[in-house]
Structure 1
Amino acid sequence: MLLRIYISDANVRRFLLIEVPTSVDQLKTLLEEKLQLKKGFELQFEDPDFDNALCNLHSIDELPAEKAVLRVVWAIEPSSSVQDISDASSVSSLDTASRSSSFGSIQSPTNLRSVAQWPSPFDVPTFSLDVELRLQKANEIYKETKKPLNVRRDMKSEILNKLAQTIFEIKAYPDACEIESVASALVQKHPCLTEPGAGSGWDGWMMSIKFKLGNYRAKLRDAGCSEVNINRKRERGQVEGLKGRMKKSKRAEVNFLPDHPAGQSDESLEKERVSIVEETRKKRIDATLVRQKMEATFSLRRKEVVEVEPLVEEIRERWPALFYEDEVIPFPMQVCLVLSVPFMYFILLFFYYYLFQDTDAEDNYTKYVKIGIVSLLKDDVAAAASLPDVTNIAIILEEAVVLRDIADLPTAFAYLFGLLYSINMEYPKELKYTFEAMQKIFMDLGGSCSARVQSLKIKLC
């Protein structure tokens, strides 16, 4: 049996079971040994009888016969390390001891996308039983005669609908290369669907998938899906001056604008937001509680920063924990971006590097700075000929220091990109190509590059 196991948002593994265990406990023990997993987790599986909805695994017999998708659900989350954080509110430290008992009513979002990056190769989903039987028989015929299947209209509709749903769970707006990878994987898995002619064999499937995905987004828009509804076109007669269309995500974000978790509303999540603010005002903060509540209110926060577009200071007032270091770095778990590791391994060509003396007033070096990374240097005239002694690194957004006491420059860049996503801030106009190059070349995030960045990429490669 072939298993696809989601250990975490950024860790998805393939695992081949030579011999199927007789019980779920044996399967968990096997996964602990082979995948080096800690104890304290449960298993869920995608149930094909319910459109691959997740169900708790209680018996091995519940798994599909040949291939299955499992998700590891941690019963007890690993505690984070205690670290000192200094911010504008002068919060002294975080207490990660025990989770508050009042947290029992908080539920983690269940509708956030769970794929860290676009899968390569794309995992073609299992279709309905009748379609799978037809494809299986047609594949056998194609293997012997090279005669492709004459796909019936209802069968093609079933295939495209299932592909559109699977694609949207990963990314709402895939680029052309990603759509091609889906069409290619489909034909490779089911050779009988190969299109005759001199082309790739899946060009027609590419176009069909593209249009079907557009139709699927239209249905979701009519149903009230936030992520596609935010990209509505300007309607005739709309009041001039109002935004008729907002840009879709272009930074490889996975959860650009998710809907609220089931059973949650603006009002219920607003109460949780208020409780986060109250917790951050304490001298010793329960970091575990804050982290879980921030995760639970993710959809409300994204709705606010994307639709309302408040100033950074307004966001800091309403979401102070968003600017903590341990909240900025875990955000790849939610939006599936990997920031810090790539920056540790190449020489930074960077921008907006402000040097200032430790006697400078903060208003002086933050004035007129929309986005910047600043370094506080030790005022030592004798050491002028040597490398500067950096005593502090901080990030400025909209003329305010939002994060300070950062360990090094690569980490500061990682935090900066995390903050830009978290508050949905546009890249500076005069530096948009620099940011794009950082994102799409060095960090390998996002789809196709602009012509200028693509030219640079070709030269570097």
Structure 2
Amino acid sequence: MTMEQKWPIRVIVTDCDIRRISLDQKPGNLESLLDHLKVKLALPYDFKLQFEDPLFNNALCNLTDLSELPDRATLKIMSLESLSSVLSTVSSPSTSDTEILYTSEEKSQMMRPDPWPSAFDIPDFSVDVNFRLRQGDLAYMKDGTRMDVSRDMKHVILERLAETMYKYTAYPTEEHCQEVASALIAKHPCLKEAGSPTGYCGWKNSIKFKMGNFRTKMRRSGMADVTVNGNKRRRDFPEGEPSCSNIKRPKRSETNFLPNFPDGANADTLESVRRQLESEAKKRLPDSAYVKKMMDQTLSLRRKEIVEEQPPVKRMMERWPALFTESQVFAEFHRVASKNLKKDFYEALDRHTTRLIDLFKSKKGVVGQSLDRLLQPIDTQTNDITTTRTAVLQCLPLYLGDDSGEFFLTCLVTDTAEDFTQVPVGVLAVMTEDRPPEISSIAIILEGNIVMDDIPTTSEALCLLFGLIYALHLDYPKGMKNTFEFIQKILLNLGQQKLSPKLQTLKNALLG
């Protein structure tokens, strides 16, 4: 008697939950398949199915007849609840008590919740690999014997590492790969390489290449942050851009650089939400809770537009007016970088203020004289934290060798109609006509447009500007690169790139 052959299928439950399962046999109809999958996957909701159609280069198509499926099929679960939520939200009126489009669990599935960790934790591997590593570590501790890693075992280790790294970033840097390799042999010393000066050079290179292979796999499954770079020149796509040309990837440790659309949503449904958001944001008194909800929902659409099309700032102001409000600048930074910008910025700045002032006062020569002039206000108003923060932030560019002359700008209240179209990035202080003049308000200029105004302090303007640079994926302003990298890498501890000599010296002085 012959055994009935099982039917293996690959099922995409969510973008971060892709499973391989086997059914006892191929069901006779679509309804039966839906019932089997609902039980097998323990799904508490109704859904429809899409499949990768080999006739159209494995593009997803709705499944209506099981005869359309190839022998080894890849299916995608499309939750009817999520889809109906999108459609109902698009058609519902703008009220503060409108139902949330996605639950926190659904958001965590489509977005990275955390930035790259300060210490990478090596994950557990399969049961057999864990056992062999444990035995290898015991042998290494006993007599220093290194493990002879088989090809299959190395594949399992690298695949698991790549999967874990992808949860933080699709494009790890050289430093990231080195950190993971170092952590691997620290946890499992039996994996140290005999001919390597560090013990992990080969592992680092293997991890780097494995991440490239893993990105290819994720690209085929439809992950947006790697699919965006899929049309590069290759043997079967000779008309594409060179492989090294204009790779779209996080530059400053953005955790959600280019997230996928939520399950059940597409560009059209999210564009309808965006139009509602635009209308709500232009009201005299917009519903802030509803605006935040819609901004959360449309992040993937907004990031796709910003990363792929790189629109001018003026167009973004027209399409996304809510993005240029204080609350949404900070909220967007948290969505993109998983950091509390306002809290972390001010806490770090205040923590280093005393030491920074001492360093500024110790500077000699022409630069020292200029720093002394900028520090004069805090000598007479020592208890005013706003004055202190402003003085420190204005001293930083001078101390780091930046040119802030075309960045920190001033004008009189009566000259607010002045033309700033030639200013790429700037913080504009609007001064009164009193003697001595006082700051009336602060504005932020991007690409010649005043994008935010009526900001009370220079420190808040600089903090908001930093958030906008992340939100709009802009380059740091020329002449102020050291200052903005100081904010990113030292104040906010974002990114693991090596510091320039000036920034490393300053960091050593602050922590010494």
TM-score with structure 1 setting the length: 0.71
Q: Which of 481, 492, 504 is the matching residue for 1:458?
A: 504
Q: What is the correspondence of 1:255-404 to structure 2 with a 5 Å cutoff?
A: 255-335=256-336, 336-337=338-339, 339-340=341-342, 341-342=344-345, 344-345=349-350, 346=353, 347-348=392-393, 349-350=396-397, 351=404, 352-362=407-417, 364-381=418-435, 384=436, 388-404=437-453
Alignment of 1:34-183 (within 5 A): 100-107=96-103, 109=107, 110-115=109-114, 117-183=115-181
Q: 1:76 aligns to what?
A: none
Give the drift of 1:329. 1.0
- Name 1:225's counterpart in structure 2: 223
RCO comparison, higher one (Cα < 8 Å, 6+): 1
Q: Is the 8 A contact 2:101 2:297 kept in 1?
A: no
SS at 2:450's partner residue?
strand
CA distance in 2, matches of 1:397, 1:229: 30
1:413 is aligned to: 462
Local SS of the residue matching 1:405: strand
Contact 1:266-1:300 at 8 Å conserved across structures:
yes
What whole-Å deviation, never above 9, does each CA across 1:22-61 have from its counterpart, x for those lacking one?
xxxxxxxxxxxxxxxxxxxxxxxx99x999xxx99xxxxx
- Partner letter of residue 113 of structure 2? S
- Please give the secondary structure, in 2, of the residue aligned with 1:356: strand
Where does structure 2 lack aligned partners over 5 or more consecutive residues?
A: 1-15, 22-41, 44-93, 354-391, 398-403
Deviation at 1:443, TM superposition (A): 3.9
3-state SS of paired residue (1:213):
helix
TM superposition shift of 1:179: 1.5
State whether residues 252 and 446 of structure 1, in contact with CA within 8 Å, keep that contact through their aligned partners in structure 2.
Answer: yes
In structure 2, the partner of 1:215 is 213
Paired with 2:224 and 2:465, the residues of 1 have a C-alpha distance of: 26
Query: Which amino acid in structure 2 is aligned with residue 126 of structure 1?
Result: D
Q: In 1, Cα distance between the equivalents of 2:202 and 2:328?
A: 44
Code of the aligned partner of 2:305: E
SS in 2 for 1:221: helix
Q: Distance in 2 between matches of 1:279 and 1:209?
A: 47
- 1:234 and 1:244 in contact (8 A); partners too: no
Q: Displacement of 1:445 after TM fit?
A: 2.3
- For residue 212 of structure 2, give the secondary structure of its aligned residue in structure 1: helix
C-alpha distance in structure 2 between counterparts of 1:427 and 1:170, whole Å: 23
Distance, in Å, in 2 between the alignment partners of 1:409 and 1:229 is 40
Match for residue 82 of structure 2?
Answer: none
- TM-aligned CA deviation for residue 130 of structure 1: 1.6
For 1:211 and 1:424, the matched residues in 2 are separated by 27
Q: Equivalent residue for 1:23?
A: none
- When the two chains are superposed, the root-mean-square deviation of aligned CA atoms in Å is 3.1
Maintained 8 Å contact 2:345/2:463: no
Match for 1:419: what amino acid? L
The answer on whether the counterparts of 2:116 and 2:253 sit within 8 Å (CA) in structure 1 is: no
Contact map agreement 1:369 1:396 (CA 8 A) in 2: yes
Partner of 2:52: none
Q: Cα offset for 1:301? A: 0.3
Count of aligned pairs: 362
* Partners of 2:416 and 2:117 in 1: CA distance: 49
Q: What is the one-letter code of the residue matched to 2:468?
A: L
Deviation of residue 111 (structure 1)? 1.3
Residue 445 (1) aligns with residue 494 (2): yes
- Structure 2 CA distance for aligned equivalents of residues 106 and 200 of structure 1: 46
Superposed displacement of residue 191, structure 1: 2.2
Which residue type is aligned with residue 177 of structure 1?
E
Q: In the alignment, is the contact (CA less than 8 A) between 1:378 and 1:391 conserved in 2?
A: yes
Distance 1:238 1:244, change over 3 A: farther
Q: Which amino acid aligns with 2:111?
A: L
Q: Which has the higher helix share?
A: 2
**Partner SS, residue 402 of structure 1:** strand
Letter in 1 for 2:412: Q
Deviation at 1:101, TM superposition (A): 3.5
